[in-house]
Structure 1
Amino acid sequence: MIRVSNIRKSFKDHVVLKDISFDVNEGEVVVIIGPSGSGKSTLLRCLNFLEKPDVGQIEIGDVKLDVNKANRQTLNKLRMQTSMVFQHYNLFKNKTVLENVTHALVVAKRMNKEAAKEVGRDLLKQVGILDKQNQYPIRLSGGQQQRVGIARALAVNPYAIFFDEPTSSLDPEWVGEVLRVISKIASHNKTMIIVTHEMNFAREIADKVIFMADGVIVEQGTPEEIFDYPQKERTKKFLRDFHRNNSVAEEPFHQSGRVKELAL
């Protein structure tokens, strides 16, 4: 499981995260929603130490640490438990699609290059872009680049995958295809934490929804509890404002039953 206890993070005098605590069970999909600037992305980055929290405890899989007492070896073990899919893809521009997917397998996992290529091609086939394996990222659409990022995250077989606004940089026509790939991964009980503004997607894919605002968790619960019966006024206001501003823009997301097509 993932257990986060009393995580705090400040940038100079600005407190971004205020005693954040929550659990994610193995195989669970947790979606974090909330207004911009609420600390959602910073929280994800703290969990794998892309940002170092000021205080707190983190447990992911079989690694548990106090953020101010952990040594480098324990930090490396924690980082190996997760993969991140970023807003802006973060692909190596000078490497082909296949090389982007296999890089961590060869460098970090010390896998034979040919074996790594076999794994990489299988994952690219599963996310629907095997035909692009020899292309460079600049030749791909945003949706295709993000699918490369997802294949890269899957390649190292992490305990959990973190998605940081995976569709926020995409043109509207590519959003659905990326969301469908993520939903297929979820169908295989992969532990996932997803930060997103796609409310219809969040409602359908999540086992649990966390609503954050002003650096704190305001409330958390099932999608039905959060979207249909929110208890806190701050949550109600966020959902009212969201629906008012997106009444036409957001298309319904339909992925019934988390279609089981990926053999992960």
Structure 2
Amino acid sequence: MIKVSGLKKAFKNTEVLKDINFEVKDGETVVIIGPSGSGKSTLLRCLNYLEKPDAGLIDIGDVSANTERVKKPTINKLRMQTSMVFQHYNLFKNKTVLGNITYPLTASKKFKKEEAVEIGEKLLGQVGILDKSKQYPVALSGGQQQRVGIARALAADPHAILFDEPTSSLDPEWVGEVLKVISDISKKEKTMIIVTHEMDFAKEIADRVIFMADGHIVEEGTPEEIFDNPENERTRKFLRKYTNHSGSIEEETIEPELVTV
């Protein structure tokens, strides 16, 4: 389970996360939606300490961290509980597709090379690009690179996978293939938190939807509750920008006091 209590984060004088509280059950897929600048990506980055929170409690799996007095060994253990799939892939350009998966396993988790290769090839088969295993990222399409990133995240066998706008950098023709891979993972009851602007996808895949705005969790519920009968006017305003043609949200105008995170 993931449990977050009283999480806060500011950049200089701008509060980006304001007393965030939520839970994610084991095997649950939680999708976070909201306008740009609402703190969605910062929230994910705080969960694995890519950003250091200013305050709050984070529990992931069997690791608990009080962010105001946490020590480095606990941070390292917390990071081991999750894997991140980034917007911009973050692949090692000097390593092959298979090497991008095996290197973290041998370097950080001390797997034998043969074991790492077996895991890597199995996962590349699952995401549909085993035939690209000897190529380098530069030779791949954006959709293929993102599938490598997903396979790498799965290889670590984390408690949860965090997806930060996994399709935002893709050409439209590659979006569907990446969303299908993520959908297939969700059917295996892997704990996932997904930040996305793909509303049709969110409605289809989520067990629960969280709507964030202005650094707060404004509303959360089942996809039916959030998309079909939202209680909060701020949620309704956001969803009015929903386009049935594209299945995604048009960017909102960001309030002057907010920053894009």
- The residue number in structure 2 matching 1:232 is 232
Instruction: For residues 197-231 of structure 1, give each alpha carbon's deviation from its aligned partner in whole angstroms, at most 9, with x where no partner exists.
Output: 00010001000000000000000000000000000
Partners of 2:199 and 2:88 lie apart in 1 by 20
* Cα drift, residue 248 of structure 1: 2.3
- The residue number in structure 1 matching 2:74 is 74
Instruction: For residues 55-99 of structure 1, give each alpha carbon's deviation from its aligned partner in whole angstroms, at most 9, with x where no partner exists.
Output: 000000000110012111111110000000000000000100000
Partners of 2:237 and 2:175 lie apart in 1 by 26
Partners of 2:197 and 2:184 lie apart in 1 by 19
Aligned: 1:59 with 2:35 = no
Aligned: 1:179 with 2:172 = no
Amino acid in the other structure paired with 1:123: L
Aligned: 1:164 with 2:164 = yes
- The residue number in structure 1 matching 2:246 is 249
Bigger shift: 70-79 or 188-197? Answer: 70-79
Amino acid in the other structure paired with 2:247: E
Q: CA RMSD, aligned part only?
A: 0.8
* Cα drift, residue 250 of structure 1: 2.9
Aligned: 1:25 with 2:25 = yes
Partners of 2:148 and 2:245 lie apart in 1 by 30
Amino acid in the other structure paired with 1:164: D
* Cα drift, residue 115 of structure 1: 1.2
- The residue number in structure 2 matching 1:120 is 120
* Cα drift, residue 36 of structure 1: 0.5
Write the mapping of 1:95-244 to structure 2, written as runs, cut at 5 A.
95-241=95-241, 243=242
TM-score by length of 2: 0.94
* Cα drift, residue 247 of structure 1: 3.5
Amino acid in the other structure paired with 2:126: Q
Amino acid in the other structure paired with 2:143: G
Partners of 1:120 and 1:250 lie apart in 2 by 33
SS at 1:21 equivalent? strand
- The residue number in structure 1 matching 2:41 is 41
Instruction: For residues 144-178 of structure 1, give each alpha carbon's deviation from its aligned partner in whole angstroms, at most 9, with x where no partner exists.
Output: 00000000000010000000000000011110110
Partners of 2:59 and 2:145 lie apart in 1 by 31
TM-score by length of 1: 0.93
Amino acid in the other structure paired with 1:81: Q
SS at 1:121 equivalent? helix
Partners of 1:248 and 1:47 lie apart in 2 by 34
Amino acid in the other structure paired with 1:60: I
Partners of 1:178 and 1:120 lie apart in 2 by 18
SS at 1:143 equivalent? helix
Q: Which runs of 4+ in 1 moved over 4 A?
A: none
Partners of 1:35 and 1:148 lie apart in 2 by 28
